[in-house]
Amino acid sequence: MRVADAFRAAYGTSPQTVWHAPGRVNLIGEHTDYNDGFVLPFAVPWGVSAAVTPRTDKTVRLLSLQGHSEPVTIASHEESTGWTRYVVGVLAMLGDRVAGADIAIDGTIPAGAGLSSSAALEVSVASALNDLHELGMTPMEIALLSQKAENGFVGVPSGILDQAASALCQEGHALFLDCRSLASRTIPLDLASHGMSILIIDTQVHHEHSGGEYAKRRAECESAARKLGVPALRDVTDLAAALDRLQGDERKRTMHVVTENHRVEALIGLLRAGAVTEIGALLNASHLSLRDQYEVSSPELDVAVEAAVKGGARGARMTGGGFGGSAIALVADDRLESVRQSVVDAYAERGFQPPRFLPATPAPGAHRLA
């Protein structure tokens, strides 16, 4: 195994364990997690493998196969910078339960595709440390600890979607998660037997202002919930009455969150009924809502979605936080080529850099490799 070989070359011994944690796409349920709502992600076949051996001192040595050839040595948590903060954040959140560690990391998630490589990094390291130190954390506790590292240490105010998907997903299934109760259920997602696939369209664009806009959306939702006198937008039951009491952006954000939660439940209903091709309409509706009400799309995402549908996709939407990253399209296998061509042509026409296409099959969540 590549990551174990790199560990041995860097540190002179074999790692005590190797864990893999995947990235994700979110089938539907976008910007609902921090509103106590519903999400439906599935894990992708790419992720992060972490080879780890504990140390008795506080030092963390970190090697990335995608970074410099030498390990970085971090003597105290405050010294960490850049990507190492996602790893050191996990150790910081574990507090006295762990000391330092020697770690090698191998990431296979296409860079910048918005498939949640940071959550995969956190969850792979947290899972390995949980195993080595026999901490007895459940996959959900690992997800929560990883989210805490991202919120409290790295300073990104993300919800639980990405970490939960990475820790809990199962092969061949999507994960239905209630982000308030944290109850989850796996939902079979067998598209192949219907002659369908999910195609990831990576715009290869990431807009810089996304971090600030994400925090702004969260604040708008929290403010709307306060005005409506509910704990979170999840609790809005009479949408028309709620919209009457709100204005401007808060009105639009509420419209998205409430309808998106219903779309998650509707999509699960269709999957249960075996009406796979019919979920396309919900993907399209989700995208329009994210574009027009939540305002987190981008020209590249909109063109990808429109061109995919024009090329024969049953439905398409942006996936993840937005402002770039990837879209997903539900496509009959005999239409894959025409969908790809339609997106390539539309991008060329607008002078966008060519997109990248990736096939998405629901992969397993975090698991031990060695």
The residue to which tokens 């947290």 are assigned: 126
Joined tokens for residue 181:
């109760």
- How many angstroms separate the CA atoms of 314 and 262, rounded? 20
Residue 320 binds ligand GAF, judged by CB under 6 A: yes
Stretch that binds ligand GAF, among 45-53, 76-84, 155-163, 232-240 (CB under 6 A): 155-163
* Closest CB to ligand GAF among residues 41, 280: 41
Minimum CB separation of residue 119 from ligand GAF in Å reads 7
* Closest CB to ligand GAF among residues 104, 318: 318
How far are the Cα atoms of 167, 184, 298 from residue 364, in angstroms, in the given order?
9, 15, 30
Minimum CB separation of residue 115 from ligand GAF in Å reads 10
Residue 158 binds ligand GAF, judged by CB under 6 A: yes
From 18, 22, 30, 144, residue interacting with ligand GAF (rule: CB under 6 A): 30
**Amino acid present at 214:** Y
* Closest CB to ligand GAF among residues 30, 220: 30
* Closest CB to ligand GAF among residues 34, 153: 34
- How many angstroms separate the CA atoms of 139 and 157, rounded? 21
Residue 250 binds ligand GAF, judged by CB under 6 A: no
From 31, 256, 263, 287, residue interacting with ligand GAF (rule: CB under 6 A): 31
* Closest CB to ligand GAF among residues 54, 157: 157
- Subset of 33-52 contacting ligand GAF (CB under 6 A): 33-34
Ramachandran region, residue 97 (left: φ > 0; alpha: ψ -120 to 50; beta: rest): alpha
Chain centre distance of CA 212: 18
Stretch that binds ligand GAF, among 83-91, 154-162, 205-213, 243-251 (CB under 6 A): 154-162
**Residue 207 burial by CB count (10 A; 0-12/13-18/19+): exposed, middle or buried?**
middle
From 23, 321, 355, 365, residue interacting with ligand GAF (rule: CB under 6 A): 321
Residue 355 binds ligand GAF, judged by CB under 6 A: no
Helices and strands: H and E segment counts in the chain: 11, 12
Q: Are 34 and 221 in contact (CB under 8 A)?
A: yes
| Set 162, 190, 244, 345: catalytic member | 162
- 162 labelled catalytic: yes
Beta strands in 249-334 (DSSP E): 315-319, 324-332
Chain centre distance of CA 213: 17
Active-site positions read: 162
Binding site for ligand GAF (CB under 6 A): 26, 30-31, 33-34, 158-159, 161-162, 320-321
